[in-house]
Structure 1
Amino acid sequence: MDHQLHWERDEDGVVTLWLRHPGRSVVVIDRWLIGQLEACFDEILRDGPPTGFALFSRCDRTFVAGADLAEINDLDDDALADYLASGLETFARICTLPCPTVAGIQGAALGGGLELALHCDAVIAAAPPANRRPYRVGLPEAGLGLCPGWGGTQMLPARIDPARAITMMVHGETPAMTDMPDGLFERVVSNEADLFEACHRWLANHPGAPTRRTPRCIDGSNRGAIAGGLASVRDDLPDTPAARAIVEAIEIGLSDGWAAATAAERRLLIELRRTDVARERIAAFFARTSA
């Protein structure tokens, strides 16, 4: 494969990878980017195990804008299932690196873009310039009648207050990064110029291989807190197909763990795509963005 993502290894063995998307104004997750990431991870490991891994975006105002909805819309159910499984398998390679990992975000991290970042051990954010509105962060899928498909239902409640995470997901909320609940960001630096150094400093301060083989997600360490968070908001959640799907995925994570829950996300997303609500909202999204 012709590699179009740049990565480098410093003298201490720390690998830095920059996301980009040639020909696009923003980085989106599509089959091309998934293939590029897969090839990069192959190459990185052939070169020897890294001592740390940092992920950044070359885009000016966006970390990753999310999945390519047009590409998803053109896939049949079997192809969409393969695409989602392939993406998750590639993202999971971050978790299996024998070193600490960090994502540095300097712009909007939405949907699959946030899910990609959450596969890292830590997320560090740069505050926007004073003359620019704060960028948005979150999982907006429910706003399109869909649900997250790359582990978002399992990872966000493990990072921030579970009740708040569940409420955000079922409403498709994408708060400004300045309004994000505590826990998502390991640190916020004052400007983008400091982001690279902050991420590499975090890696230096957290040496050694992590013990997890999955991202930080619903597991035995937080199951009680997340179950309690779900119980506290259950009666206030909207009665929509997307909200019900998100709750179902969370419940499967609570009972059966990461692999079963992410498989459920894929199944539920494919089912939701066929609903009238999703069809109408996706059509409206395309009409709005093409105007």
Structure 2
Amino acid sequence: MKYNTLLIDVENDICTITIHRPEKLNALNAEVLKELDLAIDEVMQSSDIRSAIITGSGEKAFVAGADISEFASLDAASGEAYARRGQSLFEKIENSSKIIVAAVNGFALGGGCELAMACHFRVASDNAKFGQPEVNLGLIPGFGGTQRLTQLIGKGRALELLVTGNMIDAITAFNYGLVNHVVSREELLLKAKSILAVVNAKAPLAVARCITAVQHAYEGNKQGYSYEAREFGKLLTTTDAKEGTSAFLEKRKAFFQGK
């Protein structure tokens, strides 16, 4: 499919989705959100894709925020609908059964920070900046930022960032637990792809169940233990589990088929 605001590249079972509005620092407008929704569907439906990366075009910004020019026409009802559309897309990313990594280059502010947090984990370049500056506009985050930031870095740190609108650099984000790795700009995509190459060698069904089980814990769902035990039992009967245990006992590399 051809996109106007995204660049799509698939290599070695990894789909790299690049948000491409460099003149607007890759700000999220209605078209970007719509196309990103379609691109995530493509990732989920393609048997040629095992995992994905979301990044931004250029070195200045991952996504510098939402496109503020679109806010002028919104009232309370349409504003809530706008926020819910963004939340729905980011929940789709968060709940994807295929790992999606944010490769954060430059500014990840407002909706950009929210997008990065919706991904399963984050790799940042050393020039990355994170923040939720909506308070400077008399607003709050609308795409899940108040919730995910609190879950990821804790109440006190999240609230300070939300009410001051301050940015943090990549090392601070790493120390807070917001990002998993900090690398040079040149190494950013290479690092993300190297992690996904390891993930892609694992059993797809097991990877998907790990994502869902962790999501139960992330949401404070007490049924997570029951889910874990139930899915452990189910996976024992899969072709991949039989292959994995046989390969271990036979001291060879396992070949997983997602069955």
Q: Which TM-score tier does this pair reach, normalised by the shorter chain?
A: 0.7 to 0.9
Alignment pair present for 1:7 and 2:8? yes
Question: Is the Cα–Cα contact under 8 Å of residues 109 and 130 in structure 2 kept in the other structure?
Answer: yes
Residues in 2 aligned to 1:90 and 1:214: alpha-carbon distance in whole angstroms = 19
Map 1:1-291 onto structure 2 (within 5 A): 3-4=3-4, 5-11=6-12, 13-21=13-21, 24-48=23-47, 50-128=49-127, 135-180=128-173, 181-189=175-183, 191-206=184-199, 207=202, 208-209=207-208, 210-212=210-212, 219-220=219-220
Question: Is the Cα–Cα contact under 8 Å of residues 155 and 216 in structure 1 kept in the other structure?
Answer: no
Letter in 2 for 1:139: Q
| Matched residue SS, 2:176 | coil
Residues in 2 aligned to 1:216 and 1:113: alpha-carbon distance in whole angstroms = 24
Residues in 2 aligned to 1:40 and 1:104: alpha-carbon distance in whole angstroms = 16
Residues in 2 aligned to 1:179 and 1:211: alpha-carbon distance in whole angstroms = 26
Q: Percent identity?
A: 28
Question: Is the Cα–Cα contact under 8 Å of residues 125 and 195 in structure 1 kept in the other structure?
Answer: yes
2:256 alignment counterpart: none
The 1:19/1:216 distance shift into structure 2, 3 A limit, reads: farther
How many aligned positions are there?
213
Residues in 2 aligned to 1:40 and 1:165: alpha-carbon distance in whole angstroms = 30
Residues in 2 aligned to 1:71 and 1:217: alpha-carbon distance in whole angstroms = 36
Question: Is the Cα–Cα contact under 8 Å of residues 3 and 39 in structure 1 kept in the other structure?
Answer: no
Residues in 2 aligned to 1:162 and 1:221: alpha-carbon distance in whole angstroms = 18
Q: Can you list the C-alpha shifts for 1:22-75, whole angstroms capped at 9, x where unaligned?
A: 7x3411111111111122223333433732111111133011010111211222
Question: Is the Cα–Cα contact under 8 Å of residues 99 and 120 in structure 2 kept in the other structure?
Answer: yes
Q: Can you list the C-alpha shifts for 1:92-124, whole angstroms capped at 9, x where unaligned?
A: 221232222210111010011000011111111
Residues in 1 aligned to 2:214 and 2:138: alpha-carbon distance in whole angstroms = 27
Residues in 1 aligned to 2:85 and 2:26: alpha-carbon distance in whole angstroms = 18
Runs of 4+, deviation exceeding 6 Å: 213-217
The 1:43/1:205 distance shift into structure 2, 3 A limit, reads: closer
Question: Is the Cα–Cα contact under 8 Å of residues 171 and 182 in structure 2 kept in the other structure?
Answer: no
Q: Can you list the C-alpha shifts for 1:204-228, whole angstroms capped at 9, x where unaligned?
A: 3444224338979963289xxxxxx
Q: Can you list the C-alpha shifts for 1:214-260, whole angstroms capped at 9, x where unaligned?
A: 979963289xxxxxxxxxxxxxxxxxxxxxxxxxxxxxxxxxxxxxx
Question: Is the Cα–Cα contact under 8 Å of residues 62 and 106 in structure 1 kept in the other structure?
Answer: yes
1:276 alignment counterpart: none
Shift of 1:84: 1.4
The 1:214/1:109 distance shift into structure 2, 3 A limit, reads: farther
Residues in 1 aligned to 2:20 and 2:217: alpha-carbon distance in whole angstroms = 27
Bigger Rg, which one: 2
Q: Give the TM-score normalised by the residue count of structure 2.
A: 0.73
Q: C-alpha root-mean-square deviation of aligned residues, in Å?
A: 2.6
Q: Give the TM-score normalised by the residue count of structure 1.
A: 0.66
* Structure 2 residues without counterparts, runs of 5 or longer: 223-259
